[in-house]
Structure 1
Amino acid sequence: QFHAKPRGPLPNSSLSDDDDSDSSPDSLEAKTQRIAEKYGSTFASSQEPTDPSTESRSSSQAQGRKSSEWRQQPIVISDKEGKARYKVKPEEARFPLCIVWTPLPMLTQLIPVIGHTGIGDSRGVLHDFAGPYTVTVDDLAFGETHKYVRLLNLEKEGVTPEQFDRAVKEADSNYRKRMHNIFCDNCHSHVARVLNNLNYRGKSNYTMIDVWWMCLASSRYVNFSHIVLTYVLYILLAAILLFTTLPKLF
């Protein structure tokens, strides 16, 4: 009878890349690497797929840090970046770092130097003392802005956007607890409070008269049509009064 001769173990050198007898982690990793080198493929043996929500959170956090850093830097209006960041945009009702003025119905038509004021925060959102215990935000009472005063001295004083907005919020909080009085505690007083909080131009005793004078002497109209809208009724009324009284005088 024929007896098969027992076969001994194969030597290690005879193992091929396709042999799966050794399943240890080190061996599997080595095989993966050899196959990748041979076929030019890229393998990610241990990397998990990226979660889109994680990427979104990371992006939001980065933007938040960038915004926070910007708000803590001193205000600069004169350079290119500052001009773009603090640009006045009347069509969007955005007047950053500005005192704004709009006519009061009927009263401004009789006395054009009298109107309603508010102030724009670092992002241009308008805040104004609109009535008893009422401060409106992003909704200027009595209509759109006709003219504005740029607070240019903020750059020289090293005020940060965060400090400016804090001064506005403090004034808002204070005037939400106040009764409105058109003669002595009004929208001009609210703006004066913001300037005092900032110690603007080294002063902390601004009054409604100071704000009124700034709007009269240092303001800029949004466009020509707003000049016409401000004065047209006053001019018409003055002309009618003039032509009706002159014949009686002579």
Structure 2
Amino acid sequence: MDIEALATDDDVSASQRLNRLWPLDEVNPEKARFPCCIVWTPLPIVSWLAPYIGHVGIGREDGQVLDFAGSNFVNTDNFSYGAVARYLQLDREQCCFPPNLSAHKCKQSYKHAENGVAISWDDALHWSMQHFQHKYYNLFTCNCHSFVADCLNRLAYNGSVQWNMLNLAALILRKGQWVDGMSVFRSFSPFVVVLIVGILMAGWPFLVGMATFSFLLIGWFILRIYCMKVLD
């Protein structure tokens, strides 16, 4: 009898979850619709020197993209710095939407509750948007990656509330999908041109300088995120 009751409860829970997670529309780059996606595009000048760095945003369930574009300002459906070049659609089933503390399915329920929980994907994005509309933009400490990471922490995506600029960037680089061949071209062609011109004008020391720049940049973010006790 207890087994039957448990099975019934599981069926009800699954049914409620499916009702809450209604089907999403298809990703449509032509209309700039990226439902439940992390999106990426290269940054002028910065990406010419370090093509692994770009501007990121996150899509609502209707596909409209939100991005932290400047101090006290979160863009809606007007992605900064051009069209999306790369995207990664996330699975809402890997998020935690607890009706109460005991219903958490993430690994750090108390930390999740402390950071802020959400009842849906769009609810998490809404609260992060409200939070970042009162924050100052800084490329090195509080940027577009910080905003998307905050959204993922409210969602407890993949059971984690430890999302930050570095592991978010690594996720996009590792699993992101290019929109088309032209997106690849416009993301890397400026870097290749800078590289060729730099080598022709300065020789191999230019490559050493570029490598040093990347090393210092990545080193700063590691120091900032894992060593410095600074609140965003």
TM bucket (normalised to shorter chain) is 0.5 to 0.7
In structure 2, what residue type is equivalent to 1:188? H
Bigger relative CO (Cα 8 Å, ≥ 6 apart): 2
Which has the greater radius of gyration?
Answer: 1
Counterpart mapping for 1:19-34 below 5 A:
none
Is 1:233 aligned to 2:195, yes or no?
Answer: no
Is 1:135 aligned to 2:92, yes or no?
Answer: no
Inter-partner Cα distance in structure 2 for 1:71 and 1:102: 33
Counterpart mapping for 1:138-153 below 5 A:
138-152=77-91
- 1:86 is displaced (CA, Å) by 3.1
After superposition, the CA RMSD in angstroms is 2.6
Is 1:93 aligned to 2:39, yes or no?
Answer: no
Is 1:191 aligned to 2:148, yes or no?
Answer: yes
User: Could you say what secondary structure the match of 1:135 adopts?
Assistant: strand
| Aligned equivalent of 1:215 | 172
| Aligned equivalent of 1:39 | none
Gaps of 5+ in 1: 1-69, 77-81
Gaps of 5+ in 2: 1-15, 99-117, 206-232
CA contact (8 A) 1:86 1:97 kept: no
In structure 1, what residue type is equivalent to 2:39? V
Q: Which is richer in helix?
A: 2
| Aligned equivalent of 1:180 | 137
| Aligned equivalent of 1:116 | 55
Inter-partner Cα distance in structure 1 for 2:152 and 2:159: 10
| Aligned equivalent of 1:73 | 19
Inter-partner Cα distance in structure 1 for 2:147 and 2:178: 22
In structure 2, what residue type is equivalent to 1:135? V
| Aligned equivalent of 2:201 | 244
Is 1:168 aligned to 2:107, yes or no?
Answer: no
CA contact (8 A) 1:99 1:151 kept: yes
In structure 2, what residue type is equivalent to 1:146? A
Inter-partner Cα distance in structure 1 for 2:204 and 2:144: 42
CA contact (8 A) 1:192 1:207 kept: yes
- 1:162 is displaced (CA, Å) by 6.2
Q: Identify which of 139, 158, 179 aligns with 1:201.
A: 158
Q: Identify which of 102, 107, 110 aligns with 2:46.
A: 107
How many residue pairs get aligned? The number is: 172
CA contact (8 A) 1:126 1:139 kept: yes
CA contact (8 A) 1:130 1:141 kept: yes
CA contact (8 A) 1:101 1:117 kept: yes
Inter-partner Cα distance in structure 1 for 2:96 and 2:135: 31
CA contact (8 A) 2:48 2:188 kept: yes
- 1:202 is displaced (CA, Å) by 0.8
| TM superposition score normalised by structure 2 | 0.68
In structure 2, what residue type is equivalent to 1:176? Q
- 1:233 is displaced (CA, Å) by 1.1
